Structure 1
Amino acid sequence: MSDVHGWSAGERAAIDALVRAEHGNPFAFLGPHATGQGTVIRAYLPGALRVELLDAQSGEGLGDMQQSTPGLFCQHLDTFRAYRYRIHWSGGVQETEDSYAFGPLLGEMDIYLFSEGNHRELGQVFGAQLTRHEGIKGVRFAVWAPNARRVSVVGNFNAWDGRRHPMRLRHPSGVWELFVPRLGAGEVYKYEILGQGGVLPLKADPMALASEPPPATGSVVSAPLDFDWHDDDWMQRRATVQGHQRPLSIYEVHVGSWRREGGRDGRSLTWPELAEQLIPYALDLGFTHIELLPIMEHPFGGSWGYQPLGQFAPTARYGSPRDFAAFIDACHQAGLGVILDWVPAHFPTDPHGLGRFDGTALYEYAHPFEGFHQDWDTYIYNLGRTEVHGFMLASALHWLRVYHVDGLRVDAVASMLYRDYSRNQGEWIPNRHGGRENLEAIDFLCHLNDVINSEVPGALVIAEESTAWPGVSRPTGEGGLGFAYKWNMGWMHDSLAYIQEDPVNRNHHHDRLTFGLIYAFSEHFILPISHDEVVHGKRSLLDKMPGDRWQQFANLRLYLSIMWSHPGKKLLFMGCEFGQWREWDHDHELDWYLLRYGDHQGVQRLVRDLNYLHRHEPALHQLDGQEEGFQWLIGDDRSNSVYAWLRSGAHGAPLLVVHNCTPVPRPNYRIGVPLPGTWSVALNSDAEEYAGSGAGCMGEVATLDEVSHGEAQSLCLDLPPLGSLILRPQAL
């Protein structure tokens, strides 16, 4: 039975659903549909004044479409012809093909791999992809929202009207797709989603390749990265350069506050400006790598990037995706590796983000005891869901493959491993075995590392992990998690607690520097002095040091020397390398003016020389993770707070390392050494060139035939106050 307009009850229901923006299958009604008398073409274009139907090839007019219901235009063709529309709006005229005349877009294999959690290239398939479909240029949109009643893509191109471009649901995957003809790069868009409980706040695209600069939150259609890389030499030798037996000294950087154009309160540097300034600075100081705090798009700058929502999009704060690629390329051409901090543990609750994306807990666990971090006010990824597992796996591979990044430092691993992390009794849900381990997250981390080891050989994956979980850097085939390195948080806490003690009390805390050597070879460790240690009232590294100004600088030089001579790779946060006094502030640049002063210059010069030794002395890096590379000589001199050890490489002579952790000079301090002859001082942290007092041994020292510390010969050394000595034996 038909109504006054000739519509059947089913057609009228479809029209009503379109008008209410509730139609979940627009392709069933819109576009071309065969009838017994030919083809009927329907378009729903709210706000259009007039619509002409044109022949797609010739542009010949096929007549004005009839508008029987406001916004609904129809035309009957006796013989079907490919067509397009000429739409008359109040603000102008638009010609376009019909989105609802195109068949399914994503291939069955893409859908299958996504649902299985094994699609490696989501960033090149899902989201907004510039493409040519059936000979027409435009943008293919694809988004996962399985519990939505309707999903529309909205933007300036359709006046942000969710009735204009509702999408097709691909059963049973829950993926919605639509091709919008004649759309190009630079268009801002979001998704309007009708959940079971109503229309949700507009959602940014989880797989967008670019975003608007914050505080705007729209996703941006981005062309695939078409960049002419010049880093073949680096990429070919990267696996060797980044091997466990090679030096690794990392300069950790927050891009927005390293330097600023115009000084302390100026704007952040762009990627091209950072390439001109940051790369030569890091190279001059001898770092092998820079590590960037997360540059994935994030809404709140005060999160420093650790609450990202754009897991495939470099933040627009510093330039375009192409600018970011050019920065990586410039680093590689200069011989500098790049590590990105990456956050698979949690995401922010911003309404335009992933939280309750289709009106349900889709990316996160549903129960707050599993899915909400009280400490950080964030949602926790449900990595046990195959689609979420695959989403994060594809994100990791995106940065490593598309942008040639050399490694990922995985944030907050401890929070991923344990279901009771930072939770009180009764506030967490055990795993299926009744335990506290998060089995889904563990499976994800193992899979992540196995895939990267196989598909991106030479790339590093580093765990920020603070517990005693065994085998973090052991291969998965041996029962480990498969990371290349683990941050040594125990060493960091113990060593900082020790160095902050007044030297007169250090004899009571002697074990804080010795304890770490008990487990130093149980993992492949990185010694981290990161951004977390110089914020939130913890004071800067220099300001942690006890004593008057001279002693504070001496203690800082001593501490850096301890760090660089201790087994483990190195990571130092920006500003620590020249002794910034104030805490790090993400809204202002570092206090570069301090380098006018000799004591700050001295710290910077020391870091440069420590990095030189680290890179050029195999004994300081080659056997970092092996007991054979370390030997205690003096670990029990509590009364003097003196430590001495040997560092060895796979071949060649060892280095002697001595630390005097009190301000008392110690002349003629005897230490047994394994080789007779002359030993030369490679570094004295109290040297005048470092703004020290110039005390302690300089130049060369000859051994004496006196037994000490189990060795047949010994050295009598003048130990500088609050100072370190590193000595090498001369060739015999």
Structure 2
Amino acid sequence: MPKLTKDDVARWDSGRMSDAQTRLGAHPNKTGTWFATWAPHADYVAVVGEFNDWDPGAHPLKEVGGGLWSAFVRGAKPGARYKYRVAREGYVADKTDPYAFALEPPADGGSGVAGLASVVTTLDFDWSDDEWMRTRKGPETLNEPVSIYEVHLGSWQHKAHGESLGYREIAEPLADHVERLGFTHVELMPVMEHPYYGSWGYQVAGFFAPTFRYGSPEDFATLVDTLHRRGIGVLLDWVPAHFAADPQSLVHFDGTPLYEYGDERMRVHPDWGTYVFDYAKPGVRNFLLSSARHWVEAYHIDGLRFDAVASMLYRDYSRTEWTPNAHGGRENFEAIDFLKTVNEEVFAHNPTAMTVAEESTAWPGVSQPTFNGGLGFLYKWNMGWMHDTLAYFEEDPVNRTYHHHNLTFPLVYAHAEHYALPLSHDEVVHGKGSLWGKMPGDDWQKAANLRLLYGHQVGHPGKKLLFMGQEWGQRGEWSHDHALDWSQSEQPLHAGVQRWVEDAFALYRDHPALWQDEPGGFEWVDFGDRENSVVSYLRTGRGGEQLLFVLNATPVPRDNYRIGVPEEGRWTERLNSDAETYGGGGVGNLGGVESTPVPAHGRPASVVLTLPPLGVLVLEHEGAGRTAAATSA
């Protein structure tokens, strides 16, 4: 890697240097390593490490412009540990390399240097996922099935003595499980280096380094490669909103607030105690733009889910004291421009990648292209659907008649964005209990309610996401310190829930009507029967396939329940969540019903059904228009 050039400095000053990780950080060659970092207010910067006995006078860096410092150290080889000694007007600190590709465990390590040290690392993994990378869909997934299994690597499964599985150890078992469930993607909670394990990875210190906890960068690449070879996409949680407060990393990096805001009212996030990025600085923008591209390109990641986007968009987010923008408003113009830029850069260099926003407000155009005035994400998490739907299902069935709107209102805005429907880790932590625990009633009713919830998630417009353990209805709240209780998945009711997830998500995957993202693909049949807590809707595909969903949200079976349908003929029962194989009572319609020419719900024909208790029926019209998934898109 050659030394930094004038062209590099000019690109750096532009604030759109989205490949800065190829120039900054540690880059070894045959004789040594080039080191470079950004410290515009420092008086002195040196690299200290195993190659110079941690001597701060041995290898000073030279300022080359734009606040960038660089030097070549002969004899510094891959595997060597190092830090930057940064000094300014009496301030002296040893800092980890912001661009390091690997960090060591936070221990002394016998060097006399406390805290994490960076590690000189080469990324030259021998990938075997060429077929996946050649054919992955990216934006084309708007008209493809996307179902996501969210995973916290450290607590998915443990070894016999309670230690987490490593990247390599988890690869095949995770692929086996996800393949069995039928999900299209895995989403990993942040794997970027984080000193505090209890942050679940959301308090990041190493924005270019997979955490040491589960292995090396090569081990992490092996995990991604394995999933790809098994036909499973990989999404990563990425955290551009804030960073860890640990003093050895980004905080006060050059003796001044550099990566963070200088404004004390904006500097620290009040909810998390973390430091907030100042997106007005070109060096900060370069850093984050490059981090995003690094994961997508160096590790073949298929998409990034941006955490806490709302906290970036609003300057007053969770604050009692804050500084308004230049117009006196609350919008963070610099963060908005950064979000647009990072989406443009990711898609420009990786047109088959995805970006997903966790955005919890009604900010317009989150998933619209930037050239149409949007933020440029491909998808947005539908937090409104999640909150309203869970609020409905948490109610005792006897009270659901009074909360009917919570079930039906999300359809008002279901096509306002390109949505994903998340039942994520956030809903099963901090005393919220598990999804199983949220469901009312005895164990049989809890299982039935979960099957009903998942059935509605499949039928509702939007891509799908389930957090690990929810596929069988884990009873306890999730804890990062403990593995999932896999023994529960073998118990009859829980095993039935998992069979239902497998079959319901197979239905989703195989029927274009459920994933062709068009407003006309969803149509209410009847959303007004609040007295019986019954709703019904149609999902229609471009090729003419029609799926009728009927939800009965009470534990009372309903006989002779008439539903209007658009076509006469036979309606086959594709799924019944009350089937005995799922742990239900077997109430149903003997495989299907014939329509009659009796108008109902404004339609020319109708079917008379037996609705199972706390159940969902999915019926398909056996007409000539049915189109197979393989030929629909």
1:348 to partner: Cα distance: 1.4
Native 8 Å contact 2:451 2:577 kept in 1: yes
Q: Which residue of 1 is the match for residue 569 of structure 2?
A: 677
Could you tell me how far 1:452 is from its partner in structure 2? 1.7
Q: Distance in 2 between matches of 1:372 and 1:108?
A: 35
**Cα offsets for 1:588-638 (capped at 9, x unmatched):** 100001122111100111111111011101111112xx2111000010001
Equivalent residue number for residue 79 of structure 1: none
Report the Cα offset of residue 142 of structure 1: 0.6
Contact between 1:630 and 1:648, CA under 8 Å: does it hold in 2?
yes
Give the Cα separation in 2 of the matches to 1:655 and 1:395.
43
The residue that corresponds to 1:218 in the other structure is 116
Partner of 1:532, secondary structure, is helix
Q: What SS does structure 2 have at the residue aligned with 1:505? A: helix
Residue 588 in structure 1 maps to residue 486 in structure 2? no
Q: Secondary structure at the match of 1:268?
A: coil
Aligned letter for 2:174?
Answer: L
Equivalent residue for 1:307, pick from 191, 203, 216: 203
Name the structure 2 match of 1:194: 87
Aligned-pair CA distance for 1:419: 0.3
User: Cα–Cα, structure 1 residues 306 and 670, in superposed 2: closer, same or farther, change >3 Å?
Assistant: same
Q: Is the CA contact 1:129–1:221 (under 8 Å) kept in the aligned structure 2?
A: no
Instruction: Tell me the equivalent position of 1:509.
Output: 403
Deviations, residues 21-48 of structure 1 (Å, cap 9, x unaligned): xxxxxxxxxxxxxxxxxxxxxxxxxxxx
1:185·1:220 contact (CA, 8 Å) conserved in 2? no
Q: Distance in 2 between matches of 1:208 and 1:240?
A: 28
Counterpart position of 1:485: 379
Residue aligned with 2:617, SS:
strand
Deviation digits for residues 118-159 of structure 1 (CA, Å, limit 9, x no counterpart): 223222221111024xxxx10111111111111111123322
Deviation at 1:671, TM superposition (A): 0.2
Match of 1:520 in 2: 414
- Tell me, in whole angstroms, the C-alpha distance in 2 between the residues paired with 1:661 and 1:242: 35
**Matched residue, 2:271:** 375
SS at 1:211's partner residue?
A: coil
Q: Match of 2:134?
A: 236
Query: Which structure has greater strand proportion?
Result: 1
Name 1:532's counterpart in structure 2.
Answer: 426
CA drift at 1:240: 6.3
Which of 617, 624, 628 is the equivalent residue of 2:520?
628
Whether 2:35 is the aligned partner of 1:141: answer: yes
In the TM superposition, residue 539 of structure 1 has moved relative to its aligned partner by 0.3
Counterpart secondary structure, 1:244: helix
- 1:197 Cα offset (Å): 3.4
Equivalent residue in structure 2 for 1:318, among 202, 214, 232:
214
- The answer to whether structure 1 residue 123 and structure 2 residue 40 are counterparts is no
Specify which of 584, 609, 625 is matched with residue 717 of structure 1. 609
Partner of 1:614: 508
Deviation at 1:104, TM superposition (A): 8.7
| Seq. identity, % | 54
| Paired position in structure 2 for 1:494 | 388
CA–CA distance in structure 2, aligned partners of residues 558 and 631 of structure 1? 19
1:160 maps to what in 2? 54
Partner of 1:182: 75
Contact 2:565 2:603 in 1 (8 A): yes
Aligned 8 A contact 2:172 2:226 in 1: no
Per-residue deviation, residues 247-294 of structure 1 (Å, max 9, x unmatched): 0000000000000111xx611111111111101110110000000000
Q: Take 1:621 and 1:289, find their aligned partners in 2: how far apart are those partners?
A: 15
Q: What is the alpha-carbon distance in structure 1 between the residues aligned to residue 149 and residue 609 of structure 2?
A: 33
Which residue is 1:551 aligned to? 445
Measured in 1, the distance between the counterparts of 2:5 and 2:311 equals 37
**1:691-706 equivalent positions in 2, closer than 5 A:** 691-706=583-598
Please give the alpha-carbon distance, in whole angstroms, between the structure 2 residues aligned to 1:219 and 1:463.
32
Which runs of no fewer than 5 residues in structure 2 stay unpaired? 109-114, 625-633
1:271-290 equivalences in 2 (<5 Å): 271-290=167-186
Q: What residue in structure 2 maps to residue 46 of structure 1?
A: none
Q: Distance in 1 between matches of 2:592 and 2:139?
A: 33
Q: How far apart, in 2, do the equivalents of 1:356 and 1:502 lie?
A: 52
Local SS of the residue matching 2:472: coil
> Of the two, which has the highest radius of gyration?
1
For residues 470 and 45 of structure 2, what CA distance do their matches in structure 1 show? 49
Larger RCO (alpha carbons 8 Å, 6+ apart): 2
Question: Is the Cα contact below 8 Å between 1:680 and 1:729 reproduced in 2?
Answer: yes
1:633 match: secondary structure: strand
Residues 170-224 of structure 1, C-alpha deviations (whole Å, 9 max, x = no match): 23x1111121111111111111111223212x21110001011245643433443
Offset, 1:669: 0.6
Contact 2:233 2:302 in 1 (8 A): yes
Which amino acid in structure 2 is aligned with residue 520 of structure 1? A
Q: Which residue of 1 aligns with 2:629?
A: none
How far did residue 349 of structure 1 move? 1.0
1:41-120 aligned within 5 A: 105-120=3-18
Tell me which residue corresponds to 2:163: 267
Helix, strand or coil: the match of 2:122?
Answer: coil
Map Cα deviations across residues 633-689 of structure 1 (whole Å, 9 max, x no partner).
Answer: 010001000010001122222100000000000011100111111111111111111
Over the residues paired in the alignment, what is the CA RMSD in angstroms?
1.4
Partners of 2:549 and 2:466 in 1: how far apart?
21
C-alpha separation between the residues in 1 aligned to 2:281 and 2:388?
38
Structure 1 residues 417 and 630: CA distance shift in structure 2, 3 A: same
Per-residue Cα deviation, 1:332-360 (whole angstroms, up to 9, x for no partner):
11110000000000001101010110110
Aligned to 1:665: 557
1:410 aligns with 2:303: no
Q: Distance in 2 between matches of 1:117 and 1:316?
A: 30
Q: Distance in 1 between matches of 2:544 and 2:104?
A: 55
Report what 2:461 is aligned to. Answer: 567
Secondary structure at the residue paired with 1:210?
coil
- Cα pair 1:208 1:219 within 8 Å, conserved: no
Q: 1:364 aligns with which of 245, 251, 260?
A: 260
Larger mean Cα displacement after TM superposition, 368-377 or 118-127: 118-127
Which amino acid in structure 2 is aligned with residue 210 of structure 1? A
- Asked whether the 8 Å contact 1:269–1:318 carries over to 2, the reply is yes
Task: Measure how far apart 1:420 and its partner are.
Answer: 0.6
Amino acid corresponding to residue 255 of structure 1 in structure 2: L
Q: TM-score, normalised by structure 1?
A: 0.83
User: Amino acid of the residue matched to residue 408 of structure 1?
Assistant: L
Q: 2:238 aligns with which of 334, 338, 342?
A: 342
Check whether the contact 1:545–1:555 (CA below 8 A) recurs between aligned residues: yes
What is the aligned residue count?
A: 618
2:578 alignment partner in structure 1: 686
Kept in 1, the 8 Å contact 2:104–2:119? The answer is no
Aligned equivalents of 1:611, 1:341: Cα separation in 2:
23
Separation in 2, partners of 1:109, 1:311? 24
Give yes or no for contact 2:139–2:353 (8 Å, CA) kept in 1: no
CA contact (8 A) 1:139 1:182 kept: yes
Q: What SS is found at the alignment partner of 2:136?
A: helix
SS of residue matched to 2:29: strand
Contact 2:139 2:354 in 1 (8 A): no
Task: Answer with 112-121 or 712-721: which moved more.
Answer: 112-121
Matches of 2:107 and 2:318 in 1, distance apart? Answer: 31
Relative to structure 1, the CA distance from residue 191 to residue 325 in structure 2 (aligned partners, 3 Å threshold; closer, same or farther) is same
Structure 1 SS opposite 2:524: strand
Determine if contact 1:184/1:221 at 8 Å carries over to the other structure.
no
- Verify the 8 A CA contact 1:242 1:460 in the aligned structure 2: no
Per the TM alignment, residue 704 of structure 1 is displaced from its structure 2 partner at its CA by 1.1
What is the rounded CA distance, in whole Å, between the counterparts of 2:408 and 2:268 in structure 1?
A: 38
C-alpha distance in 2 between matches for 1:582 and 1:252: 17
**How far did residue 241 of structure 1 move?**
8.2
User: Cα 1:466–1:637, aligned 2, differ >3 Å: closer, same or farther?
Assistant: same
